[in-house]
Structure 1
Amino acid sequence: MKVLIIEDETLTAQRLQALLHSYDPYIEVLAQFRSVNKTIQWFQDASHPQPDLIFLDIHLEDDLGFRIIDELQLTIPIIFTTAYNEYTLQAFKVNSIDYLLKPIDADELAGALNKFKLHWQTRKPALIDTSPLEHLIEKSMPTVYKDRFMVSLGPKYRSINIKDVAYFIYEDRVTLLITNDGDRWAVDYSLDRLVQILDPHLFFRVNRSLLAALWAIQTAHSFSGGKLKLELEPILRQEIFVSGDRVSSFKDWLGK
Structure 2
Amino acid sequence: MNVVLIEDEDRTARQLERLLKKYDPTIHILAQLPSVSETVAWFRSNPLPDLAFMDIHLEDGLVFKVFEQQQLTLPIIFTTAYDEYMLKAFKVNSIDYLLKPVDYDELAAALDKFKSIRNQPATPDLSTILQLLQKPQTASYRERFMISLGTKIHSVEVADIAYFYTEEKATFLVNRVGQFMPLEYSLDQLMGLLNPANFFRVNRQFLVARSAIQAIHTYSAGKLKLNLLPTPREEIFVSLSRLSEFKDWLGR
TM-score by length of 2: 0.45
TM-score by length of 1: 0.45
